[in-house]
Amino acid sequence: MSEFCQGGDLFDRLRIRDTFHEEEVAIVADQLLKAIKHSHLCGVVHRDLKLENIVFKKKQTNTNASITIEKDCSIVKIVDYGLAQFFKKGTNLSSKVGTPFYVAPEVLQGSYDERCDLWSIGIICYVLFCGYPPFYDDNHQKVFQMIVKNDLVFNKSDWERGSEEMKSFIKKLLIKNPHDRITVD
């Protein structure tokens, strides 16, 4: 049985709002990390975390209100496990799957594990805060090259309201080498 979530997805919410406040990004990140930790403990890697695959449980009554004001509308759920895969610790996956702007560099290189989901959460946090992905081009091959190169930039005008702690958190999720990336814990 599926749970009914009527609040729409993060992509739609971001289109309405343009950006999220740091506290709101933290609320979403906390829930995503807890959900992914549970998923990984069950031996499942999502492999396609993106704004469109994160939905709000309840509809927001005031579309201009921040999700921290309407806490009952800030509960998010991860959906669309269509590309998810069971995994065993110590065994790498090789299928190149996922959505271009969110895919981890190790997925593009064809040898990865569950830590690819943490990269995607880093991308999601980055996008929620500034309104655009850190690696962007109209050509997906160029996006893939940017991801593998991993020249992460925090544009000063878009990130001046962000704390050093948040930038550090995102940087630790977007470390190219998955063995050096922070864990869900």
Look at residue 146 and tell me whether its pLDDT is greater than 80.
yes
pTM: 0.91
Residue 48: active-site member: yes
Look at residue 128 and tell me whether its pLDDT is greater than 80.
yes
Give yes or no for a contact between 120 and 45, defined as CB atoms under 8 angstroms apart.
Answer: no
Q: Any bridge partners for residue 54, and if so which?
A: 78
9, 48, 113, 117: the catalytic one is 48
Handedness of CA 137, 83, 4, 30 (dihedral sign): negative
How high does pLDDT run on average in the chain?
A: 90
- The residue-averaged pLDDT of 3-10 equals 72
CB-count exposure of residue 80 (10 Å: 0-12, 13-18, 19+) = middle
Half-sphere exposure of 58 (CA within 13 A, CB side): 10
Ranges 6-20, 92-106, 110-124: which has the least confidence: 6-20
Domain boundaries, the chain: 10-173
CATH 3.60.90.10 is held by the domain 10-173: no
Look at residue 90 and tell me whether its pLDDT is greater than 70.
yes
Percent of the chain clearing pLDDT 70 (strictly above): 88
Look at residue 68 and tell me whether its pLDDT is greater than 60.
no
Q: Any bridge partners for residue 86, and if so which?
A: 44
Helices and strands, number each (H, E), in the chain? 7, 4
Percent of the chain clearing pLDDT 90 (strictly above): 81
* Residue 14: per-residue pLDDT: 92
Give yes or no for a contact between 48 and 83, defined as CB atoms under 8 angstroms apart.
Answer: yes
- Residue 74's pLDDT band (cuts 50, 70, 90): confident
- In total, the chain counts a number of residues equal to 185
* Residue 176: per-residue pLDDT: 96
Tokens describing residue 46: 């999502």
Q: Any bridge partners for residue 112, and if so which?
A: 93
